Chains A and B, each alone.
Chain A
Amino acid sequence: MKYTLAVLVENRPGVLTHISGLISRRAFNIESIAAGHSEEADTTRITIDVEVDDEIELEQVVNQLSKLIDVIKIINLTHVDPIQRELVLIKVRANPVTRADIINIVDIFRAKIVDVNRETMVIELTGEQTKIDALCEVLHDYEIIEIARTGKIALSRGPIAAKDM
């Protein structure tokens, strides 16, 4: 099963390497990892999607990560129905014939066109991973030149911050 963890860490060089290195050398599988500054300047928030067999294996991931000195807190967001988003940029081949179709698709997905030229378009979409997967799937009918995805980030609903959960 897939679990979503929010990991609050000290904002120090190499900390992302420590986290990802620990997960991989303990033979756990990272599906997605995304890091960025948090509301506190000295704290980085890393969202990890990890694929494990069961809760006991997840407990191992959490406990092993907790041992890293730079890890401040780990919150399992899986069961709190968090808001989950990912950002994708897709560069797709677009000529005068296909352009209108692509614009239609972009509208349906409520995505944005952020760059157009004579041969290509770049499409931006923010949404849940399934929605992004679906857009990519549809655009495969046209020629996708490249895709850049950020990996998932997640935030719980309500007034309580992860660090206080």
Chain B
Amino acid sequence: MEMIGAQAVIESLKNEGVEVVFGYPGGAVLTLYDALYKSEFPHVLTRHEQGAVHAADGYARATGKVGVCFATSGPGGTNLITGIATAYMDSVPLVAITGQVGVSLIGKDSFQEADICGITTPITKHNYLVKKVQDLPRILKEAFHIARTGRPGPVVVDISKDVFNATFDYEYPETVSLRGYSGSIIGQAADIEAAVAELKQARKPLIFVGGGVNISDTAAEFREFIQLTGFPVITSLMGLGCIPNHAEENLGMVGMHGTYAANMATTECDVLVGIGVRFDDRVTGVVNQFAPKAKILHFDIDPAEINKNVRVDLRVVGDLKWALPLLCQTIAADKTMDWKGQTAPWREQVYTWKKDQPLVYRQTPDVIMPQQVIETVSRLAGDDDIIVTDVGQHQMWTAQFYNFRSPRTLMTSGGLGTMGYGLPAAIGAQVGHPDKAVVLISGDGSIMMNCQEFATAANNGFPVKTIVMNNQVLGMVTQWQRMFYGERYSQSTLKGQTDFVKLAEAMGATGFRITKPDELEAVLRQALATEGPVLVDVQLPEVEDVLPMVPVGGRLDQMILGG
């Protein structure tokens, strides 16, 4: 069919089942936006390109579909960088379509020219510069295929302005042909058998579940595995929700701000099974002391994750959609094993740790404690409500004190730790799930980093509920300065004139403020029940630490405990 490149982009998005694009127009993508206008393709206009890419990311994490964003050339593209890197670190399927200057202007330092392919190479799964309109359908087909298959990740398609205007005979390819890339990764059945043989020997097994289970939508299979074996579970930040927080086997999050039980179990276990995890340094503490008594088994789709941070004794490389059902099947078929009997003393031990050293915080009558805010939100929220966080103390308190019950209910920048991620990601999650409640837990530092997106939420009536944990400081920074820098609070105090309620109101959202503990529940209830976007400014004490904490370079069992 005869059409111009811009129309071809829209047609290709339709062919890929894309429902919505997040973006921001500009010179190099004017023709694309014109095609968007003519075809009435759904588009969410954010107030910053960074907002667009985080929104596409939040949409992708919440739905499992590929998030798509548009930006113009040069500064439009560079404003996407933080969001692309965020998506890359957390394996989020994303296609970012950027405009590039005309072909004859490429390489001349032309107006609004930047080498987006060069800049994004280290932070994308793959990227393309499109200079010929004939290549466009194939490249878009490949881009979506690469983004969503295997270990998902962001793909950038940088399209020269000429290509949007050029006319050609459009035909969308049915298949993808990439010699060096296979999207489906089915592993070796023998590896599963070897893993089961290893598990049979275990007296102190521990299962470490990560974001891979959320990404591959295998929480049900994972829960079946735990049900069959009764093995205790620890989770990474990205793995929260794969197994309910209140499940008996769940010892909670492991690592720097992990629970006592999770960290002690890691130190004492004899077999540790990592499933869809990458053994991040925030998890392991000092690497050579991580799980020192354990054989380590690692299930992952990405062979490059094996032995990257932690040396493993046995690997199962393959899609968890393949591995976990086969694992359950193999375990269920073996009637001779008494999995729960064999590990009973160990389970008793870990449950004692869990009972004796739960996550605690001090309660004071006149001050709202941040942990209490999270617990209250958790109590008021439904099982499938989506919780989004920014980055900092509030993120860790959410991970610790929110009762996650379902997969894909936490959207957070785990790998890159991007402040400013929350609000646009919450908008994206809300677009993906218009019927679900989306609650953003942010901080007074983080929310300012993309607060312009309240305008996006308000103008579109996205009912995102934002709770600003306002302690007037960069909480995590001051915590480290308190603990490791002799209380020298260098540039970490935000106390000032900013009125968050007015900020929300100025952008068209509703604002609430909570200053006393006895208002907390009632106002939160009211806020959650209010239509449209809402911001709740919760006034918290300046000095409160996220505990437990394993200091950098420490062993997991050398935690500073709280309470």
Give residues in A with beta carbon < 8 Å to B.
9-10, 14, 17-18, 21-22, 25, 56, 59-60, 63-64, 66-73
Contact = CB atoms under 8 A, between A and B. Distances in A.
Interface string B294-311: 000000001110111001
Contacts of A63: 303-304, 306
17 contacts: A10-B179, A14-B117, A17-B118, A21-B122, A25-B122, A56-B311, A59-B307, A60-B304, A60-B307, A63-B303, A66-B180, A67-B125, A68-B180, A69-B125, A70-B180, A71-B180, A72-B179
A63 to B, nearest CB: 4
Given A14-B117, A25-B122, A60 B308 contact: yes
A9 B126 CA distance: 14
B304 A69 contact: no
Contact of B180 (A9, A25, A59): A9
A101 B325 CA distance: 74
Interface string B134-174: 00000000000010000000000000000000000000000
Interface range for B: 10 to 19
B450 to A, nearest CB: 27
Given A17-B118, A21-B122, 12 more contacts: A9-B180, A10-B179, A17-B121, A18-B121, A60-B308, A66-B180, A67-B125, A67-B302, A70-B180, A71-B180, A72-B180, A73-B180
A67 B185 CA distance: 13
Given A10-B180, A66-B303, A71-B180, A21 B121 contact: yes
A56 B180 contact: no
Interface of B: 117-118, 121-122, 125-126, 146, 178-181, 302-304, 306-308, 311
* 8 nearest CB pairs, A to B: A63-B304, A72-B180, A69-B126, A72-B179, A63-B303, A71-B180, A64-B304, A69-B181
B136 to A, nearest CB: 16
Nearest to B311: A56
Contacts of A22: 122
A135 B117 CA distance: 42
A60 B267 CA distance: 26
Given A21-B122, A60-B308, A64-B304, A69 B117 contact: no
A117 B303 CA distance: 56
A135 to B, nearest CB: 38
